[in-house]
Amino acid sequence: MDVQTVNTDVSSRPLAIEARGLAKAYGELRAVDGIDLAVPEGMIFAILGPNGAGKTTLMRMLATLAAPDGGSARVMGHDLATAPQAVRGSIAMTGQFASLDEDLTGRENLLLLARLWGFRGRTARQRADELLESFDLTDAAKKQVKSYSGGMRRRLDIAASLVVTPGVLFLDEPTTGLDPKARQSVWRMIRELAGSGVTILLTTQYLEEADQLAERIAVIDHGRKIAEGTSRQLKAATGSGFLHVALADPARLDEAAGMLEGCLRGVAQRSVEGAEISIVAPSPAEANKALAALIADGIELADFSMGSPSLDEVFFALTGGERRVAEEAGA
């Protein structure tokens, strides 16, 4: 496995998270299989990967909720293994499933956390009300959380993580299951938080989310980091140019993909619904030659374009390639 280290120039800011070889196995399954991370303070850092890639396990280890089997990590300067309570004092975590008490009201949930942090009486109440107002929940403050919509829950859940401003905020799939409007609103909160200096580590399976929010992205698959960099760097590393072809006749998709793979010596990604093929083209000249070959063979094109890959294509190029190598090794 060769990790594509796209760029090692992580600025000189102090590190909020510094992990070396973190690993965790559940029985035979190596959920996280040796991951290094370096996240500078104040950055939004996305961990991108499919379901079961190990994103949540990695985050739970960093948030002291699961003990690593191997490796080490420091969060806000505190060692995960020797000073977990100090780590807890400088982080907050919003899990994938709302970590709220459904029977209590929104305000009571925030008051409980404020008291657990050590705020008393009036100060606790003021902080709870201030958060409710900021997250547009004042009207729902006295309603039980079980009556909240998905978007309201998510807002309250994030508010609950901000009772004391954390050094690092962990967000596990912060917008999964939200409608587009609620998603936009969560994104805005995340940006504002990062603007105020909070380091944010978020996991997502949405490429768009990573693209929109994150300064840096680590792509994770099968418990390993397979690439890391800015969105632009990841796109550039996959191939300077991507050739996108749409066929007039979907029946010839496989034939066309085979020809393109032959001409351009790469792995073509096909989408059956749109009879579309995407493939890395080392240069416009070679793309041109490949297109000419298709046309010469009588394959009619509905559309074609050259451009940089979408993050989706980067992702599939990275994870798909990895699987192929694994399969070949196994065979």
- We find the least distance from the C-beta atom of residue 115 to other proteins, in angstroms, to be 4
Q: DSSP code of 197?
A: T
**Helix, coil or strand: residue 6:** coil
Give which of 178, 202, 172, 206 is closest to 310, Cα–Cα.
206
SS3 percent helix, strand, coil of the chain, rounded to 5, is 40, 25, 30
Told to check if 65 binds other proteins by CB under 8 A, we report yes
CA angle 150, 169, 205 (to 5 degrees): 55
Q: Tell me which of 35, 37, 162, 259 binds other proteins, using CB under 8 A.
A: 162
Handedness of CA 173, 200, 179, 99 (dihedral sign): positive
* CB distance 46 to 209 below 8 Å: yes
- We find the least distance from the C-beta atom of residue 287 to other proteins, in angstroms, to be 45
Q: Which residue, 213 or 264, is less far from other proteins as judged by CB? A: 213
Q: How far apart are CA 247 and CA 72, in angstroms?
A: 50
Mask for 185-204, x = binds other proteins (CB under 8 A): x---x--xx--xx-------
Told to check if 100 binds other proteins by CB under 8 A, we report yes
Q: How far apart are CA 205 and CA 231, in angstroms?
A: 14
Q: Tell me which of 5, 82, 123, 283 binds other proteins, using CB under 8 A.
A: 123
Q: Which residue, 163 or 256, is less far from other proteins as judged by CB? A: 163
Told to check if 81 binds other proteins by CB under 8 A, we report no
- Residue 324 makes CB contacts below 8 A (sequence gap 6+) with 267
Q: Tell me which of 32, 91, 217, 277 binds other proteins, using CB under 8 A.
A: 91
Told to check if 25 binds other proteins by CB under 8 A, we report no
Q: Please give the full DSSP string across 257-268, using - where no structure is assigned.
A: HHHHHHHHTSPP
Told to check if 255 binds other proteins by CB under 8 A, we report no
Q: Tell me which of 8, 9, 51, 118 binds other proteins, using CB under 8 A.
A: 118
Q: How far apart are CA 74 and CA 52, in angstroms?
A: 24
- We find the least distance from the C-beta atom of residue 281 to other proteins, in angstroms, to be 43
Quick count: other Cβ atoms within 10 Å of Cβ 304?
16
| β pairing state of 224-229 and 4-5 | parallel
Q: Which residue, 141 or 217, is less far from other proteins as judged by CB? A: 141
Told to check if 102 binds other proteins by CB under 8 A, we report yes
| β pairing state of 70-75 and 15-26 | antiparallel
- We find the least distance from the C-beta atom of residue 98 to other proteins, in angstroms, to be 7
- We find the least distance from the C-beta atom of residue 49 to other proteins, in angstroms, to be 20
Q: Tell me which of 8, 11, 51, 85 binds other proteins, using CB under 8 A.
A: 85
Quick count: other Cβ atoms within 10 Å of Cβ 123?
12
Told to check if 131 binds other proteins by CB under 8 A, we report yes
Told to check if 115 binds other proteins by CB under 8 A, we report yes
Dig out the tokens for 137 from the structure: 């929940």
Told to check if 300 binds other proteins by CB under 8 A, we report no
* Positions that interact with other proteins (CB under 8 A): 60, 63-65, 85-86, 88-89, 91-93, 95-105, 108, 112-113, 115-120, 123, 127, 130-131, 133-136, 144, 159-160, 162-165, 181, 185, 189, 192-193, 196-197
